[in-house]
Structure 1
Amino acid sequence: MNLIKKLTPISLALLIAGCAVGPDYEEPETTLAQTYLYAGNEESVNSEYWWKQFNDPTLNQMIVDVQQQNIPLQLAAERIKMANSYKKAVESFKVPTVSIGGGYYNYQLSSNSSLLGPALNPIDTSDGGTVTLLDNQHDGVFIGGSINWELDLFGRIDRQANAASIRAEQAEIFQVGLTTLITADLVHNYVQYLGAKERKKLAMENIEDQRQTLILVEKIVKSGYGSDMDYAQAKAMLAATESVIPQLEIAEQVHKHRLAILLGEPLTQVDVRLTNDSGLPELSALIPVGLPSDLVKRRPDIRMAEREMAAVNEELAASVANRYPKFFLTGTPGVSASSFDELFSSDSFGWMGAVGVNWNVFDGGRGKAMVELNEARFKSAALSYQYTVDSAFAEVDSALFAYGRSQQNQTQLSEAVEATDKAVSKAKSLYKAGLIDHLSVLDAQRQQRVIQDRQVAAKLQSANSTIAVYKALGGDWSTSPQA
């Protein structure tokens, strides 16, 4: 008791004087441009649920389902639970650990013991009798508790808890980023599937036109007004167009299978989903680019890299604090008696308390090496953060450049489609007037199909660049709170 009274003022003085050691974390400052290099007249609005601008109910429903059913996203949700559990486990070291126990004991002392043997063996008395000073057999019951607490004077446990909390934040950021990637992947494969389907339809129409052309050329050759070269060229063109069909069918199947994997559904169920598609969708609004400074807050990879710096900094501080003394408070109150009836009497109560210190004054340089290791980790995390920021801005600028050029390409091809439509209409009029033969009409129609196919390809390119821009801009694309 006197020892506790003497040590308590010392412990309180240490608590008052004690302070956390190690470097304090400061968020990095990044010099940003005022605008993106290739930004156009895009609006600065919220980018959440951007896919609804396609006005495609099938796509909207698939995105809702994929964010609930996708297996990697479910794994990410479990990863958050694990990180939070780990954080609670680390934070538990801040408070005392209390345990209770009890039991029955029985033991026998050796009569031949050099220490206790004389007290256990009978001793002759002056009246001719014998007496033993100590019984060799003992039994009893006990109930007690144990209290242990490390006084975190230098902030080691607190820093470790901070690092665990940041790791939990990273798990949440990872889920957000994965949701973005999965959603973008689904939109990409859905659009590519519809594009392959539409190109296949145009190719089939072109094949039918070329077959008619081949029949007409064959008749002309047989009548003596054409050459075998014309027939061979028409036949080769038909075969070349027919060879495109298997490639487009492969593309259809590949993208359907990818959709099935993303949705976690059998292919037959995906086929049912795709029966009601309304053709290749196009966005009905501008892209919300926003300011470059917003990118640092939106991009999951940038946020993850910044949180990595913060976590490593806390781990560095913990390794510094680990080189300082550790102070402990322990206590073991309990009751013990030779029989259960006497267990809870006041005379059966006993306790022990202690204040201790542990300090590794020599560890062969292990503590210093851990500090140096974490310092190197922090510098690596800082470099990784800078590289991530630079890569993100380059990705956005590249995506915006590709988006702008794809829009120009699509506009030019739309003009080309209008021109070929007029050419086909003019050819039909001339044919009806008897000024040209039917072969010229079929050739104009073939050119029309080629330009239409290129227009579909341009729409696909534009859709891909749009998806790339939204992905590069980051943001939370979740349709509902994750479990």
Structure 2
Amino acid sequence: MTPMTKPIALACAALLSACSLAPSYERPAAPVAAAFPSDSAGAASRTSLPLPLPADAKAAVDTGWRDYFTDTRLQQLIAAALDNNRDLRTAALRIEEARALYNIQSADRLPNVSLGATDTRAKTPAFLSTTGQSTIGKRYDVGVSVSSFELDFFGRVKSLSDATLASYLATDEARQAAQIALVAQVAQAYYTERAYAEQYALAQQTYEARARTYKLTQQRAEVGASSRLDLRSNETLMETARAAALTLARQRAQADNALTLLVGQPATAAASGAMPSDQQIDALNAVPEGLPSDLLARRPDIRAAEQRLKAANANIGAARAAFFPRISLTAAIGSSSPSLGGLFDSGSGSWSFAPQLTLPIFDAGRNSANLTLTDVRKNIAVADYEKTIQTAFREVADALAARDYLGEQVNAQRAVQDAQADRLKLLQLRFDNGVASTLDVLDAQRELFSAQQSLVQARLLRTTTAIDLYRSLGGGLK
């Protein structure tokens, strides 16, 4: 072993055997209940019971968005959003940024070897020359060198590398969480636009029907068969329907703009389609629940929060190592000669070896403050991790509660609509037979229109709740 290779071998051995002063990582206990609350429509109280998956059921995280959302137009929109959404594109670039930072930091764990060649010329004045005459000296050097390589005895460099790796993994998990959220947002925006379209169609139909009624009433009023009060009442209903149609047209246009922003290109696929049928909504709501342990293992935002916690934990190790000596090596091996032709002649070999030890004695409390800072940041990361779990638990619990009640709410609202439609028919018959007044018929028309609009809103709310449950359980990644 040559005099130069021996120190390098010792340095590598010391690097591989470096200890770490980072605290042993332990995952904090989840600050939530052991199982999600279970709600049943009409139940007097809530009970916390485990919700195991059926043996033949697929969890939300195992259900791809193409399997969950079967609407062809919606699938096209989601696929376009995954390709064109600028927020998701930024999240992907953040991963590349974090990977580059990790590669930079991890490079410090190995020596940086460089090849150098120098041509040095220096003039010596006559009064300093041994010959009494000024001279010009020449020197040529070529060699391989290792500059300021730190022997990581106390794991400072390793801790920094571990922290950067955890940050990179957290960034990757954040991108996956952003993708899941984007899939859910596109689906919700699509069905919201479709609901406005359906409500607009109802409002337009109602307006056209009321306009015909108003014209008939106007003709009757001209010959004295109807009163001015009947005419104005019909006009009020007609203009109310027109105002509602205009409002819904504006809301639909704004919903389409929101969908275009999410997709990243004009959402032409939203120009047609319809709200999902009751059977499709039932299928969406049939996604089996996941247990809290599933959330901890599979929700990307929770995994990202845990990776950030690991990074904070590793930074404590680097802060602790700053209190201990830092040893670095600078070494070189090569050849030197006063002439270029003799650079590789026998006996021109040269080498240098310069270890350096730095021991902090007085730093005005800098290292202590830095250690305190890393401890505080770890506590912040713990709180963030626990809050992320609590937020995820609440999202699932809210979606489960809504799912248990919204089905019955939709059924009740449909019963209201059917009753109002039947009431209008009966009042129309009574009016035709001279028993009921015009005001009774107009009131029934107004109540039916309101019931129709409310039913669409209830069905939309049930659909978006099913999407929320799917997203909150970690579905929608593939």
TM-score interval for Structure 1 and Structure 2 normalised by the shorter chain: 0.7 to 0.9
CA positional deviation for 1:100: 0.9
Secondary structure at 1:341's aligned position in 2?
coil
In the TM superposition, what are the counterparts of 1:398-413 in structure 2 within 5 Å? 398-413=398-413
**2:22–2:159 CA contact under 8 A, matched in 1:** no
- Whichever of the two has the greater Rg, that structure is 1
Are residue 74 (structure 1) and residue 85 (structure 2) matched?
A: no
Secondary structure at 1:347's aligned position in 2?
coil
Q: Which residue of 1 aligns with 2:46?
A: none
CA positional deviation for 1:29: 1.9
Are residue 343 (structure 1) and residue 343 (structure 2) matched?
A: yes
The structure-2 alpha-carbon separation of the partners of 1:30 and 1:443, relative to structure 1 and needing over 3 Å to count, comes to: closer
In the TM superposition, what are the counterparts of 1:189-204 in structure 2 within 5 Å? 189-204=189-204
> 1:29-85: per-residue Cα shift (whole Å, max 9, x none)?
225434312455896633233564453100011111211111111111111111111
Unpaired segments ≥5 residues, structure 2: 41-50
Give the letter aligned to residue 281 of structure 2: L
> 1:251-280: per-residue Cα shift (whole Å, max 9, x none)?
111111122222221x4xx23x23442445
Equivalent of residue 45 in structure 1, options 51, 54, 58 = 58
Are residue 97 (structure 1) and residue 96 (structure 2) matched?
A: no
> 1:93-117: per-residue Cα shift (whole Å, max 9, x none)?
111110111132222111123xxx4
CA positional deviation for 1:402: 2.6
The structure-2 alpha-carbon separation of the partners of 1:15 and 1:336, relative to structure 1 and needing over 3 Å to count, comes to: closer
Q: Which residue of 1 aligns with 2:391?
A: 391
Q: For structure 1, which segment, 444-453 or 288-297, has the greater mean C-alpha deviation from structure 2 after superposition?
A: 444-453
RMSD: 3.3
Are residue 121 (structure 1) and residue 117 (structure 2) matched?
A: no
**1:420–1:448 CA contact under 8 A, matched in 2:** yes
Are residue 207 (structure 1) and residue 207 (structure 2) matched?
A: yes
Secondary structure at 1:28's aligned position in 2?
coil
Give distance in 2, aligned partners of 1:313 and 1:365: 21
Equivalent of residue 112 in structure 1, options 127, 130, 147 = 127
> 1:390-428: per-residue Cα shift (whole Å, max 9, x none)?
232223222322333322211112223333454566678
Are residue 274 (structure 1) and residue 270 (structure 2) matched?
A: yes
**2:233–2:442 CA contact under 8 A, matched in 1:** no
CA positional deviation for 1:181: 1.9
> 1:318-349: per-residue Cα shift (whole Å, max 9, x none)?
11112211112321111122222211112111
**1:176–1:476 CA contact under 8 A, matched in 2:** no
Q: Which residue of 1 aligns with 2:44?
A: none
Give distance in 2, aligned partners of 1:2 and 1:88: 31
CA positional deviation for 1:3: 10
Give distance in 1, aligned partners of 2:76 and 2:289: 25
Are residue 177 (structure 1) and residue 177 (structure 2) matched?
A: yes
> 1:261-315: per-residue Cα shift (whole Å, max 9, x none)?
22221x4xx23x2344244554352133211221222333322222221111101
The structure-2 alpha-carbon separation of the partners of 1:31 and 1:87, relative to structure 1 and needing over 3 Å to count, comes to: same
**1:431–1:441 CA contact under 8 A, matched in 2:** no
Give distance in 1, aligned partners of 2:317 and 2:52: 45
**2:91–2:175 CA contact under 8 A, matched in 1:** yes
Normalising by structure 2, report the TM-score.
Answer: 0.85
In the TM superposition, what are the counterparts of 1:232-381 in structure 2 within 5 Å? 232-265=232-265, 267=266, 270-271=267-268, 273-280=269-276, 282-285=280-283, 286-381=286-381
Give distance in 2, aligned partners of 1:42 and 1:244: 46
Q: For structure 1, which segment, 223-232 or 179-188, has the greater mean C-alpha deviation from structure 2 after superposition?
A: 223-232
CA positional deviation for 1:218: 3.1
Q: Which residue of 2 aligns with 1:161?
A: 161
In the TM superposition, what are the counterparts of 1:5-84 in structure 2 within 5 Å? 19-30=19-30, 32-39=32-39, 45-47=58-60, 48-50=63-65, 52-84=67-99
Give distance in 2, aligned partners of 1:258 and 1:16: 54
Secondary structure at 1:364's aligned position in 2?
coil
Are residue 147 (structure 1) and residue 143 (structure 2) matched?
A: no
Give the letter aligned to residue 478 of structure 1: L
Give distance in 2, aligned partners of 1:204 and 1:12: 79
Secondary structure at 2:327's aligned position in 1?
strand
Q: For structure 1, which segment, 236-245 or 28-37, has the greater mean C-alpha deviation from structure 2 after superposition?
A: 28-37
Give the letter aligned to residue 143 of structure 1: V
**Percent identity (aligned):** 25
CA positional deviation for 1:213: 2.4
Secondary structure at 1:346's aligned position in 2?
coil
Q: Which residue of 2 aligns with 1:130?
A: none
Q: How many equivalent residue pairs?
A: 457
The structure-2 alpha-carbon separation of the partners of 1:421 and 1:53, relative to structure 1 and needing over 3 Å to count, comes to: farther
**1:194–1:280 CA contact under 8 A, matched in 2:** no
Give distance in 2, aligned partners of 1:245 and 1:183: 30
Secondary structure at 2:138's aligned position in 1?
strand
CA positional deviation for 1:435: 7.9
Normalising by structure 1, report the TM-score.
Answer: 0.84
Give distance in 2, aligned partners of 1:349 and 1:6: 17
Give distance in 1, aligned partners of 2:127 and 2:250: 91
Q: Which residue of 2 aligns with 1:86?
A: 101
Secondary structure at 2:26's aligned position in 1?
coil
**1:195–1:280 CA contact under 8 A, matched in 2:** no
Give distance in 1, aligned partners of 2:131 and 2:287: 94
The structure-2 alpha-carbon separation of the partners of 1:142 and 1:154, relative to structure 1 and needing over 3 Å to count, comes to: same
Are residue 137 (structure 1) and residue 136 (structure 2) matched?
A: yes
